[in-house]
Amino acid sequence: MPVSVATLEAVLKRDRAIVAAALALVAALAWADLVFMAADMGDGGAASRWSAGYFAATFAMWAIMMAGMMIPSAAPAVLLFAALRRHAKASSAAPALLFACGYLVAWTAFSLAATVAQWRLSEAALLSPAMKSESAAFAGALFVAAGLFQFSGLKAACLAKCRSPAQFLVERRRDGLLGALVMGIEHGTYCVGCCWALMALLFAFGVMNLLWVAVLAAYVLAEKLLPAGPAVARAGGAAMMGLGIVLFIA
C-alpha cells in the first residue's frame, strides 16, 4: 500500500525530532561535564604529573570537549542524512544516530592526538599545570600557524565539504547501518581537516578555558553555517595572524 505524503511527512518529523533531541542531549551533557571539570580544576583538581590514569582522564576530557563543540555544527548534516533516508522509504533515526557516532569517532581520534600533544608540550614546559601556554612566543606561533592554515587549499577543500553536506551525502552514499557509520567517519574526517588548527588554539589560552572554548565553537559554527562562511574563515585567519604577531612582540 503506497504511503501518503501526509504520513511520510509525519514520520519524517518524528524521526527529525528524535535525532535532534539526541544530538541536543549529547551536546548538553558534554557542556555540563565541561563546566564540572573546569570547576574541579579551579578547586585545585588539575595535575601536572603524567600517568596512565591522568592520560586517560585528559583523553576523556578532549573527547567530551570535542563532542560539545562540534555536534552543533554537524547537526544539519545529520538531520539531512535522516531526511534523505526517510524520503528513500528507509529507516532513518538509527542510521542517522550511527552517522553522528561515526562523526564523533573522527573527533575522538583527534582527541587522542591532542592528548599526546598536550603530554609532550607539558613535558617540554610549554604548558602550565592549568593547561595553557607558558610562553607568549609559543602562543603567538599557534595563532600565526592557525591563521595561515585558514588561507590554505586544504582548509578550503574541507570547509567546502562541511558547508555542502547534501553533495557529500549523495557522492559518498553507502547503504546499511555500517554504511551510515562509515559515512559519519568520512564526514567527521573532513571536519577535523577543516578545524584541527583552530582546536590547537586551545593550548594558547587554556584547554579548559570555557570562554575560549565557547568562542571557538561559535566561530566554527559561523564559518560552517553562515552564507558568508568562507569570508568568515579568511577574516578570522587574518585576525589570528595579527594577534600572533602582537603576542610575539609582547
- Cβ neighbors of 161 (< 8 A, separation 6 or more) are 167, 168, 187, 190, 194
Domain ranges of the chain: 5-249
For 171-222, what is each residue's pLDDT tens digit? 888 888 899 999 999 999 999 999 999 999 999 988 989 999 999 999 999 9
pLDDT at 192: 97
Identify which of 129-133, 163-167, 241-245 has the greatest average pLDDT. 241-245
Task: State the Cα–Cα distance between residues 193 and 186, nearest whole angstrom.
Answer: 11
pLDDT at 230: 94
Task: State the Cα–Cα distance between residues 88 and 116, nearest whole angstrom.
Answer: 43
Instruction: Work out the pLDDT band at 134, boundaries 50, 70, 90.
Output: confident
Q: What is the pTM assigned to this prediction?
A: 0.88
Instruction: Work out the pLDDT band at 1, boundaries 50, 70, 90.
Output: very low
- b/e map 171-192, b = 16+ CB within 10 Å: eeeeeeeebbbbbbbbbbbbbb
From 45-54, 101-110, 121-130, 214-223, the region with the lowest mean pLDDT: 45-54
pLDDT at 172: 87
